[in-house]
Structure 1
Amino acid sequence: MTRRALITGITGQDGSYLAEHLLAEGYQVWGLIRGQANPRKSRISRLASNLSFVDGDLMDQASLVSAIDTVQPDEVYNLGAISFVPMSWQQAELVTEVNGMGVLRVLEAIRMVSGLGGSQRNDGHGQIRFYQASSSEMFGKAAETPQRETTLFHPRSPYGAAKAYGHFITRNYRESFGMYAVSGMLFNHESPRRGAEFVTRKISLAAAGIKLGLQDKLRLGNLSAVRDWGFAGDYVRAMHLMLQADEPDDYVVGSGAMHSVRDAVRIAFDHVGLDWQEHVVIDPELVRPAEVEILCADSHRARGRLGWRPTVDFPALMRMMVDADLEQVAREHEYGDLLLASSW
């Protein structure tokens, strides 16, 4: 029988890569979306004929129960979130509702549809398996480097705090109801599909724009911030593998290599033959109120138990993103010129 997967956040970067991966694995893939006119649906437009969609909202419990009852999924991947960390200081309550309470609502919907009661525990057979997209931002001001599954959380943003709640409530439902529920503590993962507000994509777009003569400067905040960056296409494979294991558990997923924002800029600008120091401007207003200085993953558990390995290193990732943005920016600029010409 064909397995069914329901993905929240299917129109985002991770959702689009996960949908591709699951379709290749032979799944029937459903996406939870807030209305068919979702403005970010373009990321999955080429897959749309192979996907099914169901209406739902992480802030609406009834809609989630209805969606899960309709789809009857074997696996639920909760990737839906407000994912831009700086926004969480401006909209802390909204981010907490979506990224924190939204997880609880999905778990509750699964519990209700599955018929699990307060004292009833599932025997683990034939139940809906749940994946929660946790985040390295939960570690924040990390007590140790690299960070592993046992590292204490010290989130440094409302985003990280909300994700920590989602992580712990997932574990609680696993322990309380015997649900097959896991969390993937994914470190930063990027791609050409990353939103333009994220620093790696902001850098790759600027490198392309400056190379094509369409802009001159790139404004950034803290160039010394260090992250463990990987390719989103690699990381969605880890999500899927977590739900295939015999027993549910939580996993750190990352490359184990640290790079600074400065490294990202240098790689991107070198790739197009530019001196980054001639174009980058430091803007103090772009520095976070509470910076997370160093994040680096110890993913031995995922590598050992799941057999997961990343395939794209950070320099190759940045070059991939710059190449994609060179094509996109050039295409959009040419299209803009055509529109301007046709208006005369």
Structure 2
Amino acid sequence: MTKKALICGISGQDGAYLAQLLIQKGYQVAGTSRDAQMCSFRNLELLGIKEQIQLESMALNDFRSVLQILMKTEPDEVYNLAGQSSVGLSFDLPVETLESIATGTLNLLEAIRFTHRPIKFYSAGSSECFGDIGVEAADENTPFRPRSPYGVAKSTAFWQVANYREAYNIFACSGILFNHESPLRPRRFVTQKIIDRVIDIAQEKEQLLSLGNINISRDWGWAPEYVEAMYLTLQHDRPEDFVIATGVSYKLEDFVACAFAYFDLDWQKYVRCDRTLLRPTDLAFSQGNPQKAKQILGWEAQYKMPDVVRGMIEAKLQISSAI
């Protein structure tokens, strides 16, 4: 029997790559956005898979809407990648962030319980749940101390998943993903902003790159690899939570330097600090320990930060040359 998957938030970076992976594995894939008729689904078009997906409108904060789509699509697996996805924006939109992530996750879990069907559920967690961890790599047992509205919302969703797993015996899992990038990232994310501006500077279309705190350290991975970890999480014989990361952390300054070095440019000539871009609170250091995923799922990141930067630049140049 062909498996069916429902991807909530299919228009985003992770949703598009996950849909591509599942189609390659022979799944029937359905995907949702708040308004499927108005959404462009540009990422699905870029990957050439839009016509292979059943697209539906669903409001995650509306239980009736969620239940209707579950009944209509009858999925074997549900991947919840939806919700407000920007840490920086969450400081400006804390209520929307909490509702779209926490309430949306709760509605999906409750709808799955209501259907009485053996649906496997994956929830997109985040390294932002951990907050400041000093210089230690976070694993599945590291306490949560979130320092952003986004991190608070993701922490709430994580414990909702754990509660439904234990209370109702639902196959529900969280993947605690550290930063992962790709050419499909929106420009509001600093990594894509850096790549776009560096290319413009190299082509003499721009002269400066303005950034906030470049001393923060992050564990950056490659999004197409991370969606494979999502898939493997639901293929495991029992529901568990997994940290998904490269296990290596770099400063944002290193990311910037690597991008400029691709064009043989000295980053210090072009970068300036803009204090208006600083967040109310930010994590100084973030790094994951993915040993559990390696031991149990057989998953290990192949791309580290320099590979990610190169991949994003080359994809952007390829797209530009094709236009």
1:189 maps to what in 2?
180
2:289 maps to what in 1?
298
Q: How does 1:63-102 map to 2 (within 5 A)?
A: 63-102=65-104
Kindly indicate whether residue 322 of structure 2 is the aligned counterpart of residue 326 of structure 1. no
1:180 maps to what in 2?
171
Residue 178 (structure 1) shift? 0.2
2:23 maps to what in 1?
23
Residue 61 (structure 1) shift? 1.0
- Stretches of structure 1 that go unaligned for 5 or more consecutive residues are 115-125, 333-344
CA distance in 1, matches of 2:40, 2:147: 28
- Give 1:76's aligned amino acid: V
- 8 Å CA contact retained: 1:76, 1:130: yes
After superposition, the Cα gap between the structure-2 partners of 1:30 and 1:320, relative to the gap in structure 1 and judged at 3 Å, is: same
Computing the radius of gyration from Cα coordinates, the structure with the larger value is 1
Q: TM-score, normalised by structure 1?
A: 0.91
- Give 1:26's aligned amino acid: G
- 8 Å CA contact retained: 2:218, 2:249: yes
SS at match of 2:235: coil
1:211 maps to what in 2?
202
- 8 Å CA contact retained: 1:142, 1:153: no
2:3 maps to what in 1?
3
Kindly indicate whether residue 79 of structure 2 is the aligned counterpart of residue 42 of structure 1. no
- Stretches of structure 2 that go unaligned for 5 or more consecutive residues are none
Residue 310 (structure 1) shift? 1.2
Residue 59 (structure 1) shift? 1.4
Q: More displaced, 57-66 or 130-139? A: 57-66
- 8 Å CA contact retained: 1:144, 1:151: no
CA distance in 2, matches of 1:318, 1:215: 19
SS at match of 2:214: coil
- 8 Å CA contact retained: 2:34, 2:58: yes
- Give 1:136's aligned amino acid: S
CA distance in 2, matches of 1:4, 1:84: 29
CA distance in 1, matches of 2:92, 2:211: 19
Residue 324 (structure 1) shift? 2.0
SS at match of 1:86: helix
- Give 1:74's aligned amino acid: D
- Give 1:87's aligned amino acid: L
Q: More displaced, 269-278 or 185-194? A: 269-278
- Give 2:103's aligned amino acid: M
Residue 322 (structure 1) shift? 1.3
2:238 maps to what in 1?
247
- 8 Å CA contact retained: 2:135, 2:285: no
CA distance in 1, matches of 2:309, 2:196: 11
- 8 Å CA contact retained: 2:37, 2:57: no
2:261 maps to what in 1?
270
CA distance in 1, matches of 2:258, 2:149: 31
CA distance in 2, matches of 1:36, 1:13: 16
Residue 143 (structure 1) shift? 6.0
SS at match of 2:91: helix
Cα deviation 1:15-68 (Å, max 9, x = unaligned): 000001001111000001222334451100221111111221111111100000
CA distance in 1, matches of 2:264, 2:40: 32
Kindly indicate whether residue 201 of structure 2 is the aligned counterpart of residue 199 of structure 1. no
CA distance in 1, matches of 2:63, 2:51: 28
2:33 maps to what in 1?
33
Residue 229 (structure 1) shift? 0.4
SS at match of 2:67: helix
Residue 309 (structure 1) shift? 1.2
Kindly indicate whether residue 133 of structure 2 is the aligned counterpart of residue 142 of structure 1. yes
CA distance in 2, matches of 1:24, 1:227: 31
Aligned-residue identity in percent: 39
After superposition, the Cα gap between the structure-2 partners of 1:220 and 1:40, relative to the gap in structure 1 and judged at 3 Å, is: farther
Alignment length (residue pairs): 321
- Give 2:62's aligned amino acid: D
Residue 148 (structure 1) shift? 0.3
- 8 Å CA contact retained: 1:224, 1:261: yes
SS at match of 1:281: strand
CA distance in 1, matches of 2:23, 2:320: 29
- 8 Å CA contact retained: 1:7, 1:32: yes
- 8 Å CA contact retained: 2:130, 2:142: yes
- 8 Å CA contact retained: 1:219, 1:281: yes
> Any runs of at least 4 consecutive aligned residues in structure 1 with deviations exceeding 4 A, and if so which?
329-332
CA distance in 1, matches of 2:236, 2:185: 29
SS at match of 1:155: coil
CA distance in 2, matches of 1:155, 1:36: 32
1:118 maps to what in 2?
none
Q: More displaced, 92-101 or 136-145? A: 136-145
